[in-house]
């Protein structure tokens, strides 16, 4: 039985944990939505091993983030926080998601990172994006056979480790709004008046200020107020020169 049922979107952003996407490329996703394009998000794990919050609170938080950000859809897989491995099962799950959303652009965790889950997610999603295009790899959704689909563009976003970005997106218009998507994950970040919880790397009061400082720095590199940086797995092909290098 052929089943063409999809939720086609323009961009699909993956994260190893709920909040990876909002912290790293949320403002860029908002610029895409502002352009009238559709965005979906897929978290590979439920974030249940995080020091703060439970799988339940993080589920409610990621649903709230999806709502305030305006995603078409957000799905959360259960591939095991801190137990994420490169298995055939995990690969097939990610292929299934890519074929379901049929994105042109896919955002991925960067290949070199502090949290091992980010590194493993990066490899897994990168490879799944390739295999999703192979006709002979069969996957089903709701009992129906899925069609092969290979995204045109993969972009690695920036997390804990800095890298020299190959592209910087001007997010001046959306940066402030993207904060709402981050603050939806209230169990994870510093809140005024709540001082008695264990401090984690991202719970520090300075963390959100640090994120803003980086966005300001990246913006400065392209002469705007805020920027988000990305690298690509290969060279960026340009078919319309003047669209990428417009007249002043
Ligand atoms: Zn993460």
Q: Ligand 1 center to residue 17 CA distance, Å? A: 5
Q: Ligand 1 center to residue 15 CA distance, Å? A: 7
Note the residue count of the chain.
248
Higher pLDDT, 82 or 149: 149
Q: Ligand 1 center to residue 23 CA distance, Å? A: 9
Q: What is the DSSP letter of 235?
A: P
Euclidean distance between CA atoms 148 and 77, whole angstroms: 20
Q: Ligand 1 center to residue 118 CA distance, Å? A: 6
The pLDDT of residue 176: 95
Q: Ligand 1 center to residue 121 CA distance, Å? A: 10
Q: Ligand 1 center to residue 111 CA distance, Å? A: 13
Instruction: Read off the pLDDT of each residue in 16-36 and give the average, rounded to a whole number.
Output: 97
Q: Ligand 1 center to residue 10 CA distance, Å? A: 23
- Taking alpha carbons only, the member of 8, 1, 37, 29 closest to residue 174 is 29
Euclidean distance between CA atoms 197 and 195, whole angstroms: 6
Q: Ligand 1 center to residue 243 CA distance, Å? A: 34
Q: Ligand 1 center to residue 45 CA distance, Å? A: 9
The pLDDT of residue 1: 40
pLDDT over 70 (residue 201): no
The pLDDT of residue 177: 96
* Averaged pLDDT of the chain: 91
- Residue found under tokens 């998000």: 41
Please state whether the predicted TM-score (pTM) of the whole model is above 0.75.
yes
Output the furthest CA–CA distance in the chain (Å, rounded): 57
Q: Ligand 1 center to residue 159 CA distance, Å? A: 8
Q: Ligand 1 center to residue 158 CA distance, Å? A: 11
Q: Ligand 1 center to residue 16 CA distance, Å? A: 5
The pLDDT of residue 2: 45
Euclidean distance between CA atoms 11 and 3, whole angstroms: 22
End-to-end CA distance of the chain: give it in Å, rounded. 53
Q: Percentage of the chain surpassing pLDDT 90?
A: 77
Q: Which residues, in sequence order, are bridge partners of residue 168?
A: 229
**Which burial class, exposed, middle or buried, applies to 247 when counting CB atoms under 10 A from its CB (0-12, 13-18, 19+)?**
exposed
The pLDDT of residue 194: 59
Strands 153-157 vs 227-231: parallel, antiparallel or unpaired: antiparallel
Q: Ligand 1 center to residue 177 CA distance, Å? A: 21
Q: Which residues surround ligand 1, an ion (CB under 5 A)?
A: 16-17, 20
Q: Which domains does the chain have, with CATH numbers?
A: 11-244 (3.40.50.10320)
At CA 21, angle to CA 20 and CA 24, rounded to 5?
Answer: 85
Q: Ligand 1 center to residue 88 CA distance, Å? A: 22
The pLDDT of residue 81: 77
Q: Ligand 1 center to residue 234 CA distance, Å? A: 24
CB 148 within 8 A of CB 132: yes
Euclidean distance between CA atoms 217 and 97, whole angstroms: 34
Q: Ligand 1 center to residue 47 CA distance, Å? A: 8
Angle between helices 88-101 and 116-131 (to 10 degrees): 60
pLDDT tens digit string along 41-100?
999 998 877 767 777 888 899 999 999 999 999 999 999 877 899 999 999 999 999 999
Euclidean distance between CA atoms 102 and 99, whole angstroms: 5
Q: Ligand 1 center to residue 64 CA distance, Å? A: 18
Higher pLDDT, 23 or 82: 23
Strands 144-145 vs 140-141: parallel, antiparallel or unpaired: antiparallel
């Amino acid at each position: 039985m052929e089943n063409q049922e999809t939720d086609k979107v323009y961009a699909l952003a993956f994260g190893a944990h709920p909040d990876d996407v909002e912290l790293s490329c949320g403002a860029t996703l908002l610029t895409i939505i502002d352009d009238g394009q559709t965005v979906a998000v897929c978290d590979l794990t439920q974030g249940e091993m995080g020091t703060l919050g439970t799988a339940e609170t993080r589920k409610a938080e990621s649903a709230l983030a999806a709502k305030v950000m305006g995603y078409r859809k957000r799905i959360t897989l259960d591939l095991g926080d801190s137990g994420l491995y490169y298995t055939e099962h995990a690969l097939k799950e990610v292929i299934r998601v890519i074929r379901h959303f049929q994105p042109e652009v896919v955002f991925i965790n960067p290949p070199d990172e502090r949290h091992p889950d980010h590194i493993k997610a990066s490899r897994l999603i990168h490879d799944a994006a390739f295999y999703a295009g192979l006709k002979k790899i069969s996957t089903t959704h709701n009992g129906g056979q899925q069609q092969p689909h290979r995204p045109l563009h993969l972009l690695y976003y920036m997390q804990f480790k800095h890298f020299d970005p190959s592209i910087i997106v001007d997010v001046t218009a959306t940066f402030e709004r993207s904060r709402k998507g981050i603050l939806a994950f209230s169990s994870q970040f510093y809140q005024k008046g709540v001082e008695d919880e264990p401090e984690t790397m991202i719970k520090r009061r300075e963390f959100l200020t640090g994120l803003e400082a980086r966005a300001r720095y990246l913006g400065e590199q392209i002469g705007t107020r805020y920027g988000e940086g990305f690298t690509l797995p290969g060279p960026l092909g340009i078919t319309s020169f003047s669209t990428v290098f417009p007249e002043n």
